[in-house]
Structure 1
């Protein structure tokens, strides 16, 4: 099959373009993008599409970059294709951001493509990545310690970006241009092993082919197909797990900790990354180490703990959920009134509370469950108040005869500062009777004279109520 046949077959296989769509072609002036543009130009009537070209001068190579832009514009004028060009000082952007030249150029370039696409109303943006680019990308990802996603390599279609040359090798592209006597620009920096990708292409791949695997390209493509199939299965399993354990709100994702902990480790990591993607639109710069940090936080941190994460994200551990949010958790004041017996949901602490009263009747005293407390009901007056802590709070901790400031109690108990505002205080008739999960007030403990017992229980699930 010739290059045009492969080109059309790829477009059809991945449903890249539809009738009457406008396709913006990213053209650098190099062989790949010029070949891409020429194929689209020759087949535009058959595909029933319209074309436009976007060219970005990165200002890396001075006069040569300017000549690239002029060359691409001349090609567009010759073929009567609308041209959109722009110059951006990428070296200056690199100094400002600290990004690598490759990452900085890619970031600026894709932003430019989006800008032009919105301006002209194009449905697709076509890029000139070829089969060799795909193989190089997979090797780069392996060396960087990629997961399965990295083994897939360059996707033929991602959002509105399409890559019709992705199944065509570089040598076929160069042969096509030579056959049709089509000129193109040569970026001399691509011939120097200065950047990671260049070193892979110019040094590593030739060495592997010569000494270890002459059919390296076929091996990498087979690896990618296997990875793509496995990834599709994992994506389905992740979605099933997500539907069971995750809830999306306006600026946060709530992950049920109990359900999450039952998942396989692979699904746990994918749930975390999916939560990041839901909130930020992508997982760029959210690395493996960050995923592991969140996983450890969910599994080992105490209720009320907080964690700062990349991409402007914040994590919080509540009684039931791990909460991933785009907003930093702020101390929330709350106050609820509760009848006895009764049921209550404390939104700010994300927990449920149930109260009831029983006769003493030799009921055992519960000592080792921090989520349930017993009180002498005869000393309780009126309703209970569940509230956040406030300045000047004090109580008499069980086993003591003296008042203690709540602030000092938290310090002595080594309660993390960020957790203190989330711990509900139970109050009755102006007295603190329980610091939930920690200590009751000695004045309200059960004694030999107690006739009725008040139970207050913290529930981790609504259906326990």
Structure 2
């Protein structure tokens, strides 16, 4: 930790307050730079404001830089269908990581303790999740460190009380309709009747399991992440890997890239896809889908972002999924082999242009082709991945397909010598530069 720049996740609870107190005490000795970040989930109204003000006050008293950020958990829940806990966790870690990278910090420190680990292990165990999830909370994963993981709640609060250090209690922590609170207040007390040291016993075993998993390094990898953030599983390699190692590799990838724990029933469905014919697909949790293609399985968001019909006016751009679609009027017609650009005769357009997903029964006349072609057949011709076929952007006018973005314009809208006005259409993925000429 020497000379590290550490972002401290500060909720105001006893765990995070002790974590900040500890890091502040060793700050000078190790030459640490600290930034405390409080994440407001937008769920608890005045209580959340109280917690933020408390955290700000604590940081001022310690001379630690403080930052508060707001996340929209409710919207994320509606978009993805995931639970409030999953949505809050996903957005919280994303916010912390965004700040870490923007500020060029080295680590994110969280206040997870040994009781949190016991709750996580038991929840994942009864939900039928695999070894990686049952191995508990890692002391470190990537830039995230958890220095408090060997301490229990009683030790933490006793230490703070003995030194007169205050903290705040989140009232929602007593709500046993939340599964983690149910485990904390209903289940673990019963386990302590069998073994008063239950949390430590669970921690010791989860550590051994994690250590065992981490020693396995000689198994060939069968997964990769493509430029669109999708998880690709090589079915040829996967077919030769034992279930345990295949589960481990896929589950780690899903956690790292989609914050999704892989349940055993979903893993068994993925295994069937490895042996299945191309064209089959399944729905996973968290808004993910998996489709079997030639020699691979593609796992990604069923709907990467909003893909509802969107008007495309000349001189404007629209966001559609992971793409930007641009439209402008131009004077010159430049013949190009760039399939991401299309020139159309504006005079042949009926009504307004709209970007939307194709419907399965739609057809169009591919430029320089031989008559009409069903859009489903065309998608097969150009080998568009199954996961993307019915979320891919297509430009329509009031009557017809005008351009299958990134592939082919409709022949009926092609520029001719009689054309008086030309629209230039262009598609770019997020992060690509757009030529506005």
Range class of TM-score, shorter chain:
0.5 to 0.7
More helix by share: 1
- Counterpart pick for 2:108 among 125, 150, 163: 125
Match of 1:151 in 2: 134
- Counterpart pick for 1:266 among 232, 239, 244: 244
- Say whether residues 1:219 and 2:198 are aligned partners: no
- Say whether residues 1:295 and 2:271 are aligned partners: yes
- Residues 285 and 155 (structure 1), Cα distance of their counterparts in 2 relative to 1, 3 Å cut: closer
Residue deviations 1:95-125, cap 9 Å, x none? 4543322112212221221232233221111
- Say whether residues 1:231 and 2:209 are aligned partners: no
Preserved contact between residue 305 and residue 419 of structure 1 (Cα < 8 Å): no
Residue deviations 1:257-290, cap 9 Å, x none? 3x5444433234445556x559x83562654333
Match of 2:6 in 1: 23
Report the Cα distance in structure 2 between the residues aligned to 1:67 and 1:248, rounded to whole angstroms.
42
Report the Cα distance in structure 1 between the residues aligned to 2:225 and 2:68, rounded to whole angstroms.
40
Preserved contact between residue 138 and residue 152 of structure 1 (Cα < 8 Å): yes
- Residue 188 of structure 1, CA deviation: 1.8
Residue deviations 1:304-362, cap 9 Å, x none? 444355566654454xx33547699xxxxxxxxxxxxxxxxxxxxxxxxxxxxxxxxxx
Match of 1:363 in 2: none
Residue deviations 1:373-420, cap 9 Å, x none? xxxxxxxxxxxxxxxxx999xxxxxxxxxxxxxxxxxxxxxxxx9999
- Residue 236 of structure 1, CA deviation: 1.7
TM-score (norm 2): 0.62
Quick check: 245-254 or 35-44, which moved more? 245-254
- Say whether residues 1:111 and 2:94 are aligned partners: yes
Query: Structure 1: which 5+ residue stretches go unaligned?
Result: 1-16, 329-389, 393-416, 423-465
- Say whether residues 1:176 and 2:159 are aligned partners: yes
- Residue 216 of structure 1, CA deviation: 1.3
- Residues 322 and 194 (structure 1), Cα distance of their counterparts in 2 relative to 1, 3 Å cut: closer
Preserved contact between residue 9 and residue 37 of structure 2 (Cα < 8 Å): yes
Alignment size in residue pairs: 310
Match of 1:453 in 2: none
Preserved contact between residue 126 and residue 161 of structure 1 (Cα < 8 Å): yes
1:247-396 alignment to 2 at 5 Å? 253=232, 255=234, 257=236, 260-270=238-248, 272-273=250-251, 277=254, 281-282=257-258, 284=260, 286-299=262-275, 301-302=276-277, 304-307=278-281, 310=284, 315-318=291-294, 321-324=295-298
- Residue 86 of structure 1, CA deviation: 2.2
Report the Cα distance in structure 2 between the residues aligned to 1:204 and 1:256, rounded to whole angstroms.
41
Query: Structure 2: which 5+ residue stretches go unaligned?
Result: 303-368, 372-376, 383-437
- Residue 41 of structure 1, CA deviation: 0.8
Report the Cα distance in structure 2 between the residues aligned to 1:324 and 1:255, rounded to whole angstroms.
9
- Residues 272 and 93 (structure 1), Cα distance of their counterparts in 2 relative to 1, 3 Å cut: closer
Report the Cα distance in structure 2 between the residues aligned to 1:70 and 1:418, rounded to whole angstroms.
58
- Residues 312 and 391 (structure 1), Cα distance of their counterparts in 2 relative to 1, 3 Å cut: farther
Match of 2:387 in 1: none
| Secondary structure of 1:201's aligned partner | helix
- Residues 418 and 255 (structure 1), Cα distance of their counterparts in 2 relative to 1, 3 Å cut: farther
Quick check: 43-52 or 281-290, which moved more? 281-290
Report the Cα distance in structure 2 between the residues aligned to 1:191 and 1:246, rounded to whole angstroms.
41
- Residue 136 of structure 1, CA deviation: 1.3
- Counterpart pick for 1:83 among 66, 71, 77: 66
- Residues 241 and 191 (structure 1), Cα distance of their counterparts in 2 relative to 1, 3 Å cut: same
Residue deviations 1:175-210, cap 9 Å, x none? 111121111111122133231111111111111212
Report the Cα distance in structure 2 between the residues aligned to 1:58 and 1:228, rounded to whole angstroms.
31
Match of 1:52 in 2: 35
Report the Cα distance in structure 1 between the residues aligned to 2:379 and 2:274, rounded to whole angstroms.
15
Q: Provide the aligned C-alpha RMSD in A.
A: 3.5
- Residue 220 of structure 1, CA deviation: 0.7
Preserved contact between residue 298 and residue 317 of structure 1 (Cα < 8 Å): no
Report the Cα distance in structure 1 between the residues aligned to 2:88 and 2:132, rounded to whole angstroms.
23
1:130-141 alignment to 2 at 5 Å? 130-141=113-124
Quick check: 124-133 or 55-64, which moved more? 55-64
Match of 1:386 in 2: none
- Say whether residues 1:241 and 2:220 are aligned partners: yes
- Residues 230 and 68 (structure 1), Cα distance of their counterparts in 2 relative to 1, 3 Å cut: same
